[in-house]
Amino acid sequence: MELRNMTHPNLVLFDVDAQNKEQVIRQLISKIKKQNYIESEEALLEAVLKREEQSPTGMEKGLAIPHGKSSTVKQAVFAVARLKNPLADWESIDPNNKVQLVFLIAIPESEAGTTHLKVLSTLSTNLMRDGYLEGLMAAGTTDEFLNRLDVEEKKEAAPEKEFTKTVVAVTACATGIAHTYMAAEALEKAGRELGVSVLVEKQGASGIEDELSAEVIKNADAVIFATDIAPKQKDRFAGKSYVQTRVAEPLRKGKEMIQKALSNPDGVVEAEEEESSTTQSSGGGGFFKDMVQAVMTGISYMIPVIVAGGLMMGIAKLGAMPFGLVNELADPKYATHSNELFVILHHLDKFGALIFKFMYPIFAAFVAYSLADRVGLVAGFIGGAFAGGLHYTFWDNPDGIPSGFLGALILGLAAGYIARFLNRKIQLNKNLAAMKPMFIIPAISVLSIFFLNFYIVDPVFGGLNVVLRNWIESAQGTGDVVLASIIASATAFDLGGPINKAAGAIAIGLAADEVYPLTARVLAIVIPPIGLGVAVVIDKYIVGRRVFPADLRVAGNTSLLLGFLAISEGAIPFMLRNPLITIPINIIGAILGASTAVLLGAVQWLPLPAVWGWPLVENLWAYLLGLVVGAAFIAFSNIFIRFAILKRKERQA
């Protein structure tokens, strides 16, 4: 099958006028839809933009290859755009790359190992060859362009070289299309120039291609893992010196990768118990990169827990609303009520609250897992349980204040680094090797987490919570706006955590004594999750999906829904990813919104912050205006600050 048969003359566009990357991608996807290769433009756009966030699809010499795999694609296809004006802001492996020729590749989700995919891998490989890209850029007509797709420049056979070193490599990108094959071609080419035999196994969308045999691996001097995902069957390389890098790196640093693998490797591939600890987390990216990757992993696994818990509680509260039982649903009397519906709603609400209890253990466990693989899971999970306050139940201290999200962050990272250190440093005889992951590492790492939490995390954050509680209590005699600001800031600080609960206990007590209404409290519960949800909507439809990564876009949609149900935990993923940005903005937004509502005369005495409590607010217009002010500040501040950070990173690149 020829390459020209994988596209259509109507999918080759010349002199395309576009101001940014997304405009180019949208135009190409629109053309693909018109040719009936896909069912939904939005679904393919989502897949392509998600791939864009993982690593650059801009290459060098004016080339970019965005691509995506989606069930909406009926048949594998590629479309081409030659731009009227080059784009300098397309993220590329060459920072100076100005994109002028764009190949957009669309692959069906279920397609693997087909002729279509093999042809597209050929296209990716051809684009790396000298003279091929220049020929496409010089084509004057569509027919000439299509003809040049299948023309390879004939070269005289290079004299055979006697290689003294052999390096094996594995390439794999998240989608398994372009970068997988281009990185392989780049490594092989760099090896020929250095006089090193480079044999590459491609783990792409077609499965494992050019699989390395046991004999080849045994005789290799080093291995390069150029992967954005964990390579398959990595234990085959145990004992080999390795270099771990992103899949795009060989495209610009192929020779450096080979030389580093032979002379200054990242380490030695360990046996199966550390199968993935050397793939992502210890890939030579440094301490900070490891930590960021670990937090992102923890957040991605925590988001489904938040969604599930919020959904259960939301269904229960919505079901109880027609009966006026939203605020009473947690009462134990409904567990044995004569009305079976009330019994179900009561237990569903409790079930949702129980799911939330696993939020921090899951987060911390997978933070540790990202750093140390399976040997870090147990200590991370227990650290997260400490952060959620589970230990107080067994220590006869039900009034203890847990460390919350900061504790989960610290203990999860500590568990991962401790377990990884132990896994690397402890060496046992083969007959005793099973004791390391099953007994020694869990015992030492869990004990370390116990002492870290007992002597540092709990006392530090518990002491901080006591100080904040005393501060709130001492502010009871101040003016309305000052007290509203204090209660709002404490409520918004940790989104349902211990400081939030301390503020809530005091605010409810003041309201019960008819000293001060709950207006500031209930607004500060809903403003952060709604504000962050609105920020994601703005990012999607106005900014262009560049500010927030894919997992936070999902979390933002959930956060918006949960915010209206007064479940603030939906905003926690944003706080864990960027606490120095999110926490101050949340606090300021809550203060602005609460102060605006209080000054304009909004009054809410009942602890009903969700939509069903709004009809009970005096001067509802003032309450809603305060909500809009606070949420708008959070939304636009997040967009502005994150966009500025993104632009600064692009300039630095």
Cα gap 542→295, rounded to integer Å:
28
Per-residue tokens: 312: 């259960």
Torsion of CA 114, 117, 118, 121, to 10 degrees: -170
Cα gap 304→233, rounded to integer Å:
28
Cα gap 24→544, rounded to integer Å:
13
Tell me the β-bridge partners of 223. Answer: 168, 242
Asked whether the CA dihedral 378, 379, 382, 383 is positive or negative, the reply is negative
Cα gap 341→320, rounded to integer Å:
9
357 sits in the region (left: phi over 0; alpha: psi -120 to 50; else beta) called: alpha
How does DSSP classify residue 403? -
Catalytic status, residue 67: yes
Cα gap 360→387, rounded to integer Å:
7
192 C-beta neighbours (distance < 10 Å), count: 14
Contacts of 184 (CB under 8 A, 6+ apart): 125, 169, 171, 200, 202
Q: What is the DSSP string of 516-585?
A: S-SHHHHHHHHHHHHHHHHHHHHIIIII-S-SS-HHHHHHHHHHHHHHHTT-GGGGHHHHHH-HHHHHHH
> Where does residue 330 rank: exposed (0-12), middle (13-18), buried (19+ CB within 10 A)?
middle
Which SS3 state, helix, strand or coil, does residue 209 take?
strand
3-state secondary structure string, 140-158?
CCHHHHHHHHCCCCCCCCC
Beta strands in 205-251, from DSSP E residues, in sequence order:
207-209, 222-227, 241-245
Catalytically annotated residue among 8, 173, 179, 346: 173
Tell me the β-bridge partners of 197. Answer: 166
Which SS3 state, helix, strand or coil, does residue 39 take?
coil
Contacts of 547 (CB under 8 A, 6+ apart): 535, 539, 638, 639, 642, 643, 646
The strand order across the sheet containing 207-209 reads 207-209, 196-204, 165-172, 222-227, 241-245, 267-268
Cα angle for residues 514, 518, 521 (degrees, 5° grid): 150
Catalytic status, residue 391: no
For residues 193 and 254, the answer to whether their CB atoms sit within 8 Å is no
Cα gap 270→348, rounded to integer Å:
46
Q: Which of 154, 133, 155, 153 is nearest to 145 (CA)?
A: 133
Catalytically annotated residue among 8, 67, 116, 391: 67
Q: Which of 187, 232, 239, 242 is nearest to 207 (CA)?
A: 232
Residues with catalytic roles: 67, 173
